[in-house]
Amino acid sequence: MSCVLRVGGKNLDIHRLLSTVTMLPLAVFQKGELRSKFAPPGKLLAQSAANFEISNADFSDFNEQVSDTLLFLRENRESLVSIRSFPGVEGVVLDFAVEIDPERFPCSFNFPDELLVSAGSLGISLELSIYPD
């Protein structure tokens, strides 16, 4: 999963939200649960959230991730408006995961205008997560 849509909020009833959308989540997180099975005692989730796969393009194929995401935004606009306006939703983010060979610095990634306008009009933020090759 190279591009993921993350939806979350401190007072979000995540299961109610999921019952209103047709997209299947990759992961669901409930406020108050352990952050992970490896988290020390007392490290609880501060918000409820869900992650949805938008692109499964390779981490090295940023352009394909962008193309997949543009198609997703066009095909799911109505659902995304509904998600963004759902009670308790505080944030919606498209997280693009890319790998970079440390030997190839510097490098850059360009979010095209169409993606910025489409995501922005829906109140969706963009994030770039960088991993070593």
Q: Confidence class of residue 107 from pLDDT cuts 50, 70 and 90?
A: confident
SS3 state of residue 107? coil
Query: What gap in Å lies between CA 18 and CA 49, rounded to an integer?
Result: 10
pLDDT for 40: 67
pLDDT for 102: 73
Query: What gap in Å lies between CA 60 and CA 29, rounded to an integer?
Result: 28
| Residue-level length of the chain | 133
Kindly report the pTM of this predicted structure.
0.88
The domain limits of the chain are 3-132
- Sheet of 3-9, strand order: 27-29, 48-55, 3-9, 91-100, 125-132
Mean pLDDT score of the chain = 91
Query: What gap in Å lies between CA 63 and CA 77, rounded to an integer?
Result: 21
pLDDT for 8: 97
Preceding amide of 106 cis, omega within 30:
yes
Instruction: Give pLDDT tens digits for 33-90.
Output: 887 766 666 788 899 999 999 999 998 899 999 999 999 999 999 999 999 999 999 9
Say which range, 15-24, 77-86, 98-107, 121-130, has the weakest mean pLDDT. 98-107
Residue range 90-119: mean pLDDT, rounded: 89
Distance of CA 61 to the CA centre of its chain: 17
